[in-house]
Amino acid sequence: MTSKLIWKTSRRTFDLRKRPLVMGILNITPDSFSDGGRFAAADDAFRQAEQMISEGADIIDIGGESTRPGSSRVPPDEEAARVIPVIEAAAARFDVPISIDTTKSEVAAAALAAGAEIVNDISGLRFDPKIAGCVAETGAGLVLMHSRGNFENMHSQPPVTDIFEEVRSDLARSIAGAEYVGVSRDCIALDIGIGFGKTLDQNLQLLSGLDRLAGHFREFPILVGVSRKSFLGRILNNASAGERLAGSVAAAALAVWNGASIIRAHDVRATADAILTASVIRDARDQ
């Protein structure tokens, strides 16, 4: 079950009938759970962006504030100072869309002005609804992710009884909020929020039953981010973040099989190969 096959940003249109997309993760932070501090310097971040593009990244997702459990909020000016030089350099050098991973409208607006063309909001507009206005004004792409609670406690929310209904209803509210201020439906993608306030069983249920959500939100591309996440460590005998490549790739391939069109990943080449293979086999089933 595949979802919508077209996704628009401010500068291009993705045809998702060809293959699923890889969104390469570039964290310019000192404290991200997997690669914190590695790309804090602008030159290092730029080289990592270049490396991911050479490995097949279709989008570079740049973030200046960690959302790992226990992380602290970063002031908007500090977050912008981390990401804007890298966005400007990457947008000037590469013909690959840049996404800004932020929950702050000030940072989103600055990033879009610097050359980004997608806003990736892990709060689904809950933390700062004004992000939708920034997107509507520029025609940027918008990723709306499901999460619960506020920034400080979104990873420690008590589990809900029906995770599918929770994700469905909350994403529907996020879509309505975006459309209310003029965001085009063609510009919206949805992220089910693996690892954000969900139990291990709920993460597994969402991935194995992703076709249910893809079918319900047929008009929207589905993005899934499983790369190196802690639920994989629990499956893999407490493997550290750096030891979760095989699990990350397997989960990404299964997500594509079940309807995802965009995969957010640290390990671009392995992920790109895996999800292309999964999509080709899946599509052969329907021929």
- The answer to whether residue 95 sits within a structural domain is yes
Task: Tell me the C-alpha distance between 71 and 29, whole Å.
Answer: 11
**Per-residue confidence (pLDDT) for residue 3, from 0 to 100:** 54
Q: Is a pLDDT exceeding 70 seen at residue 39? A: no
The dihedral region occupied by 228, where left means phi > 0, alpha psi between -120 and 50, and beta the remainder, is left
| Contact by Cβ (8 Å): 251, 271 | no
Helices (H), the chain: 42-54, 76-93, 105-114, 130-138, 163-180, 200-208, 210-216, 230-235, 245-257, 268-285
Total domains in the chain come to 1
**Per-residue confidence (pLDDT) for residue 69, from 0 to 100:** 72
**Per-residue confidence (pLDDT) for residue 36, from 0 to 100:** 47
- The answer to whether residue 253 sits within a structural domain is yes
Phi, psi at 239, each rounded to 5°: -65, 140
- The answer to whether residue 1 sits within a structural domain is no
Q: Model confidence over 69-82: pLDDT tens digits?
A: 766 789 999 999 99
- The answer to whether residue 90 sits within a structural domain is yes
Phi, psi at 42, each rounded to 5°: -60, -40
State the residue range of the domain holding 278. 6-10+19-285
pTM above threshold 0.85: yes
Q: How many CA atoms lie within 13 A of 176 on its CB side?
A: 6
Instruction: State the pLDDT confidence band at 33, using cuts at 50, 70 and 90.
Output: very low
- The answer to whether residue 68 sits within a structural domain is yes
**Per-residue confidence (pLDDT) for residue 4, from 0 to 100:** 60
| Contact by Cβ (8 Å): 227, 242 | no
CATH number of the domain bearing residue 40: 3.20.20.20
Q: Is a pLDDT exceeding 90 seen at residue 158? A: no
Q: Is a pLDDT exceeding 80 seen at residue 26? A: yes
**Per-residue confidence (pLDDT) for residue 40, from 0 to 100:** 59
Both tokens of 184, joined, read 């085009």
Q: Is a pLDDT exceeding 70 seen at residue 35? A: no
State whether residue 132 is helix, strand or coil: helix
Q: What angle is formed at CA 42 by the lines to CA 101 and CA 190, rounded to 5 degrees?
A: 15
- Mean pLDDT, range 42-59, rounded to an integer: 91
- Mean pLDDT, range 190-213, rounded to an integer: 95
**Per-residue confidence (pLDDT) for residue 21, from 0 to 100:** 98
Average pLDDT, the chain: 92
C-alpha 238, offset from chain centre: 24
Hey, which residues are catalytic here? 229, 264
Task: Tell me the C-alpha distance between 272 and 154, whole Å.
Answer: 30
Exposure string over 64-100, b if 16+ CB within 10 A, otherwise e: bbbbbeebeebebeebbebbbbbbbbbbeebebbbbb
Q: Choose among 13, 34, 22, 24: nearest CA to 255.
A: 22
State whether residue 180 is helix, strand or coil: helix
- The answer to whether residue 175 sits within a structural domain is yes
- The answer to whether residue 122 sits within a structural domain is yes
State whether residue 56 is helix, strand or coil: coil
Q: Model confidence over 246-281: pLDDT tens digits?
A: 999 999 999 999 999 999 999 999 999 999 999 999
Q: Model confidence over 81-93: pLDDT tens digits?
A: 999 999 999 999 9
- Mean pLDDT, range 36-49, rounded to an integer: 73
Q: Is a pLDDT exceeding 90 seen at residue 112? A: yes
- The answer to whether residue 276 sits within a structural domain is yes
Cα torsion 68, 70, 76, 77 to 10°: value is -100
State whether residue 101 is helix, strand or coil: strand
